[in-house]
Structure 1
Amino acid sequence: MMTLSCDVAIIGAGTAGMAAYRAAQVHTDRLLLIEAAHYGTTCARVGCMPSKLLIAAADAAHGVREAHRFGVRAEAPRIDGVAVMQRVRSERDRFVGFVVDTVHGWPDATRLSGRARFTGTGTLDVGGQRVEARAVVIATGSRPRLPAGWRERLGNRLIVNDDVFDWTDLPASVAVYGAGVIGLELALALHRLGVRVRLFARGPRVGPLSDPALQALAAELFAEELPLTLNAGELDPVRVNDQVLVGGEHFDLLLCAAGREPALDGLGLDTLGLPRDAAGQPQVDRHTGQWGRSAVFMAGDATDDRPLLHEASDSGRIAGDNAARWPDVHHRPRRTPLGIVFSDPQMAVAGASHAELTAAGTAFDTGRVSFADQGRSRVMRVNRGGLHVYAERGTGRLLGAEMIGPAAEHIGHLLAWSVQRGDTVRQMLDFPFYHPVVEEGLRTALRQLHSDLHLPAPPIERCMDCDTTAEAGA
Structure 2
Amino acid sequence: MYDLIIIGAGTAGISAYKEARKHTNNLRIINDGAWDTTCARVGCMPSKILISTANQLHDAHHADRVGLNLKIDADTSQVMQHVQTLRDRFTASVIKDVESWHPEHKTSGQAKFINANTIDVNGEQLQAKAFILAVGSSPNIDQDQKKILGDRLITTDEVFELPYLPKRLAVIGSGVIAIELAVAMHQLGVDVTVFARSRKVGILSSEHLQTLAQAHFSQSVNILFETLPESMSRDGDGVTIEYQDQQGQSQSIKVDYVLSATGRSSLLSTLDLHKVDAIFQDIKKLPINHDSKQLGDYPLFVVGDAFSQNPIQHVAAFTGKHVVQNALNYPDIQALPKLSPLAIIFSNPQMAIAGQSKKELEQQHIDFVTGIQSFEKQGRALTLGKNVGAIEVYIEKSSQRLLGAELFVESAEHLAHMLSWMIAEQVTLADILDRPYYHPTLEEGLRSALKHARRQLRADSE
Q: What TM-score range do you get, normalising by the shorter chain?
A: over 0.9
d(CA) in 1 for partners of 2:263, 2:13: 22
Q: Which residue of 2 is the match for residue 182 of structure 1?
A: 177
Q: 1:237 aligns with which of 232, 235, 260?
A: 232
What are the residue-to-residue correspondences of 1:446-457 with 2, within 5 Å? 446-454=450-458
What are the residue-to-residue correspondences of 1:283-432 with 2, within 5 Å? 283-432=287-436
d(CA) in 1 for partners of 2:17, 2:282: 31
Q: TM-score, normalised by structure 1?
A: 0.92
Residue 204 (str. 1) matches residue 221 (str. 2): no
Other structure's SS at 2:128 match: strand
Counterpart contact for 2:323–2:336, Cα < 8 Å: no
Q: Which residue of 2 is the match for residue 220 of structure 1?
A: 215
Q: Which residue of 1 is the match for residue 131 of structure 2?
A: 136
Q: How far is the alpha carbon of 1:127 from its aligned partner?
A: 1.5
Other structure's SS at 1:453 match: helix
Q: 1:169 aligns with which of 164, 168, 173?
A: 164
Q: Which residue of 1 is the match for residue 440 of structure 2?
A: 436
Q: Which residue of 2 is the match for residue 19 of structure 1?
A: 15
d(CA) in 1 for partners of 2:394, 2:442: 19
Q: Which residue of 1 is the match for residue 115 of structure 2?
A: 120
Q: How far is the alpha carbon of 1:170 from its aligned partner?
A: 1.2
Q: Which residue of 2 is the match for residue 44 of structure 1?
A: 40
Q: 1:76 to 1:232 in 2, by over 3 A?
A: same
Higher mean C-alpha deviation, range 316-325 or range 349-358: 316-325
Q: Which residue of 2 is the match for residue 464 of structure 1?
A: none
d(CA) in 2 for partners of 1:276, 1:434: 55
Other structure's SS at 2:322 match: helix
Counterpart contact for 1:274–1:282, Cα < 8 Å: no
Q: 1:234 to 1:174 in 2, by over 3 A?
A: closer
Q: 1:408 to 1:308 in 2, by over 3 A?
A: same
Q: 1:149 aligns with which of 144, 149, 160?
A: 144
d(CA) in 1 for partners of 2:66, 2:445: 23
Q: 1:284 to 1:210 in 2, by over 3 A?
A: same
Q: 1:94 aligns with which of 82, 89, 102?
A: 89
Q: Which residue of 2 is the match for residue 261 of structure 1?
A: 265
| Runs of at least 5 residues in structure 2 that lack an aligned partner in the other structure | 244-251
Counterpart contact for 1:9–1:133, Cα < 8 Å: yes
- 1:307-348 residue CA offsets vs partner (Å, 9 max, x unmatched): 000111111112223212223323221101100011111100
Counterpart contact for 1:7–1:135, Cα < 8 Å: yes
d(CA) in 1 for partners of 2:265, 2:120: 24
Q: Which residue of 2 is the match for residue 66 of structure 1?
A: 62
| Runs of at least 5 residues in structure 1 that lack an aligned partner in the other structure | 458-474
d(CA) in 1 for partners of 2:61, 2:203: 28
- Would you say how many aligned residue pairs link Structure 1 and Structure 2? 452
Counterpart contact for 1:137–1:323, Cα < 8 Å: yes
Q: How far is the alpha carbon of 1:455 from its aligned partner?
A: 7.8
d(CA) in 2 for partners of 1:282, 1:105: 35
Counterpart contact for 1:337–1:416, Cα < 8 Å: yes
d(CA) in 2 for partners of 1:442, 1:334: 25
Q: How far is the alpha carbon of 1:240 from its aligned partner?
A: 2.4
- 1:149-181 residue CA offsets vs partner (Å, 9 max, x unmatched): 221222211001111211221111110111111
Q: 2:26 aligns with which of 19, 23, 30?
A: 30
Q: How far is the alpha carbon of 1:266 from its aligned partner?
A: 2.3
Q: How far is the alpha carbon of 1:6 from its aligned partner?
A: 1.3
- 1:114-137 residue CA offsets vs partner (Å, 9 max, x unmatched): 100000001000020111111011
d(CA) in 2 for partners of 1:111, 1:273: 27
Q: How far is the alpha carbon of 1:148 from its aligned partner?
A: 5.6
Counterpart contact for 1:396–1:455, Cα < 8 Å: no
Please report the RMSD computed on the Cα atoms of aligned residues, expressed in angstroms: 1.8
d(CA) in 2 for partners of 1:207, 1:45: 22
Other structure's SS at 2:3 match: strand
Q: TM-score, normalised by structure 2?
A: 0.94
Counterpart contact for 1:262–1:304, Cα < 8 Å: no
d(CA) in 1 for partners of 2:42, 2:143: 23
Q: 1:417 to 1:36 in 2, by over 3 A?
A: same
